[in-house]
Structure 1
Amino acid sequence: MNFTTVLAILAAILVYGLICFYIGYNGWAWLRRFPRLAKFKYVYFALITFLSISMLAGRFIPIPLLNMIGGYWMVIIGYSLLLLPILNLIHFINKKRGLKWIGSGVLIFYVVIFTYGTFNAWNPVIRNYHVDINKQSESDHVKILMASDFHLGSIVGVNHLERFISISEKVKPDIIMIPGDLIDDYIEPFMEEDMGKSLKKLNAPLGVYAVLGNHDYYGGDKEEIVKEMEKAGIRVLEDEVLTVQNQLTIAGRKDPTDPTRASLTEFFGGTDLSLPVILMDHQPIALDEAEQAGIDLLLSGHTHRGQVAPAQFITDRIYENDYGFLKKGNLSSIVSSGFGTWGPPLRIGTRSEAVVIDVNFK
């Protein structure tokens, strides 16, 4: 690690520390207006210190509760940086009056968004899309059940996975497709909760297929993840193409995290395009490449649609299609906000979802 990198890390830690102090001090300015609470000054600042450390430590120490607390603190930081400067200005203009009411309002705000966000995270909805593909197949219609970004691990566990199983049993799809981020970095929680037992319940006449996402690589458990998915009856496609019962051609790409990811031309070139072609690519970054290759339907996830508002405005600027349906020439692109969550089990301005795609062949 060179000197510049060390300096950058130290600068980032310093900035983060100042942000945490700013938030903590604002909270104390409100609490000390209540004599009974003011006696717990050192307890309060010890709590702020713990919360500040938890966001960093939770990514490296395998303690689920610490990871969850760190995620909530991350959300508090984000909204505080939006709210507090405005409220500080209002307080100053108001000649430093009404701090009790301002602080109480902030507290109520967090209670409301945490309650609302928790509901959105654990109560998935079904989104429906209709796609027409101008090709012939042995069948004139196929129903796809698609869900991305499960992030199965210490936070998103068996209970939430079983919700998807229930949706699958209700929808009765012809094929199930999972475009990436099945695991949240490390496979140990998946194994400890025996989540593979639940995944085995997934079935569809044309099969269950998946690709890997960036978080499936981060923990260094990629090979074991593929092995466990295959044991559960899920075919993981890694820069592969296959034909399903002479009805569809499906393909799956490695995530850009993988340095061995091939171009579409390398593994897809020469594929018979007479059948409808569906591609899974975790990150929706290669729409032009997919269109030029003759892909009919591209399924992606990754963006979570920002997960916590107003981050959806950021993902909208980054990706040509960050959520929902986009038609690009003969290519139809569908991006899901995901079934699970990353970081805090919260969704604000988004919703955990499963996607049903009714595809008609003409």
Structure 2
Amino acid sequence: MNFVLALGVFLIIMLSLAYYIYVLIRRALHVFFPQKKTKRIRIISIVLAVIVMAPTLNFFSSWLIIVLHIAALAIVCDILYLLTRKWLPKKLAKLHHITLIPLIATACLMVYGYYNIHHPIKTTYTVETEKAIPASGYKIAFISDLHTGLTLDRNGLKKYAREIEQQKPDIVLLGGDLVDERTTLDELQMAFEVLGTIDSRFGTYYVYGNHDESNYSNNKNYSKQQLDDAITKNNIKILDDAIKTVDDQFTLIGRRDLSLAPRKTAAQLMKKTDADDFLLLMDHQPVETKENNALAVDLMMSGHTHGGQIWPAGYVIELMGQVSYGKKDWSHMQQIVSSGIAGWGYPIRTEHHSEYVIVNVKPK
């Protein structure tokens, strides 16, 4: 039922988009060819609209994102035009009719979005705790949502692995979705081989994301066993509803992803922890935050949201009650959600940047 509803909504959106693209093309043709017969322009507009819309049937086509941006910006311009057309100069009205501003704005956004997703930055947070941790604290490196194969190749990933290593982290955390349904077996093995070379005091730990096991594909490029082998043979420890006492005062809790239910509750996992330790809970999706706060988790780290990736998705996530990006202080817990070092589906980011995260945990 949910699938049928989603399909119905998708078809309505796509048909509405196709009609609006037809309207924009027909309006522009009337400006360029005012003497042409309306019927001929209508036929040409239909043909051009079909040509524009055909590539969007591939859901993973970047062309879909381009067309959606043009349409969204054109709607904004149409609203502004309706509000100002009584005193708008004719030349500006013509520019509106040929959709010039949405086309230029979309081109600029796509250039920015392509650059943004291909150039991850370092984001640093400081977390203070009253727990009795060493005076030097802990430095944590966090990487999520690589979705290997979309942006970073071996050399690109090596560059960021060395950059992270230069930060001298005490521990490296991999927050899920390092690979996905379009990642090949060779790419998967390459990614974990490179990530496994990052040197740290306590080693590298991994939790599954919703895409890692390629569960959204009927024709998987790799098996669960091949995934696990690639992870573990590179000295990366998997935490699948498990805890690890990293140091005398530091315990790591790794959750099974919500999509891989059933999973243990955080309360069940934390029965085996020492409340005096600094408790870091890693969960790919930023969910069950109220429960984690009530359990007095000190720090929760997640990815999954990509910070929205394509505007305004991040705002929609926030409206749904989830933290889409950044740091949030709860009454007992501090929460960090990363936008990820790459993105999913499209090599474009028009919202938050790509990043890896460094967290400095300090005693108060």
User: Cα deviations across residues 62-105 of structure 1 (Å, max 9, x unaligned)?
Assistant: xxxxx44445445545x347535426636965598745422222
Shift of the 43–129 alpha-carbon distance from structure 1 to 2, 3 Å rule, reads: same
Post-superposition offset of 1:318 = 2.2
Q: Residue 63 of structure 1 corresponds to which residue in structure 2? A: none
Distance 1:293 1:323 in 2: 22
Shift of the 222–135 alpha-carbon distance from structure 1 to 2, 3 Å rule, reads: same
Where do 1:1-362 residues align within 5 Å? 6=4, 9-10=7-8, 12-30=10-28, 33-34=31-32, 44-55=48-59, 58=60, 67-76=61-70, 79-80=72-73, 82-83=75-76, 85-86=78-79, 89=82, 98=92, 100-102=94-96, 103-137=99-133, 140-188=136-184, 191=187, 194-217=190-213, 218-219=215-216, 221-361=223-363
Counterpart secondary structure, 2:258: coil
Q: Kindly tell me the number of residue pairs found equivalent between the two proteins.
A: 347
Shift of the 5–43 alpha-carbon distance from structure 1 to 2, 3 Å rule, reads: closer
Matched letter for residue 343 of structure 1: G
Distance 1:287 1:194 in 2: 33
Matched letter for residue 236 of structure 2: I
Q: Residue 36 of structure 2 corresponds to which residue in structure 1? A: none
Post-superposition offset of 1:53 = 1.3
Matched letter for residue 53 of structure 1: L
Post-superposition offset of 1:8 = 6.4
Determine if contact 2:188/2:227 at 8 Å carries over to the other structure.
Answer: no
TM-score (norm. length: structure 2): 0.82
Counterpart secondary structure, 1:18: helix
Distance 2:8 2:290 in 1: 40
What residue ranges of structure 1 are gaps of 5+ in the alignment? 59-66
Post-superposition offset of 1:41 = 6.1
Distance 1:213 1:117 in 2: 24
Determine if contact 2:150/2:347 at 8 Å carries over to the other structure.
Answer: no
Determine if contact 2:179/2:188 at 8 Å carries over to the other structure.
Answer: no
TM-score (norm. length: structure 1): 0.83
Distance 2:347 2:115 in 1: 9
Matched letter for residue 172 of structure 2: I
Distance 2:30 2:189 in 1: 44
Determine if contact 2:170/2:201 at 8 Å carries over to the other structure.
Answer: yes
Determine if contact 2:133/2:363 at 8 Å carries over to the other structure.
Answer: yes
Distance 2:332 2:32 in 1: 64
Determine if contact 1:139/1:247 at 8 Å carries over to the other structure.
Answer: no
Shift of the 191–349 alpha-carbon distance from structure 1 to 2, 3 Å rule, reads: closer
User: Cα deviations across residues 217-259 of structure 1 (Å, max 9, x unaligned)?
Assistant: 4346555333322223322211100111434210110111112
Determine if contact 1:308/1:347 at 8 Å carries over to the other structure.
Answer: yes
What residue ranges of structure 2 are gaps of 5+ in the alignment? 34-40, 218-222
Distance 1:330 1:52 in 2: 46
Shift of the 302–74 alpha-carbon distance from structure 1 to 2, 3 Å rule, reads: farther
* Stretch deviating more after TM superposition (192-201 or 246-255): 192-201
Counterpart secondary structure, 1:144: strand
Distance 1:54 1:88 in 2: 32
Identity percentage of aligned residues: 28
Distance 2:154 2:70 in 1: 27
Matched letter for residue 24 of structure 2: N
* Stretch deviating more after TM superposition (261-270 or 313-322): 313-322
Distance 1:44 1:158 in 2: 40
Distance 1:227 1:143 in 2: 28
Distance 1:168 1:331 in 2: 26
Distance 1:32 1:131 in 2: 60
Post-superposition offset of 1:333 = 0.8
Shift of the 322–18 alpha-carbon distance from structure 1 to 2, 3 Å rule, reads: closer
Determine if contact 1:138/1:246 at 8 Å carries over to the other structure.
Answer: no
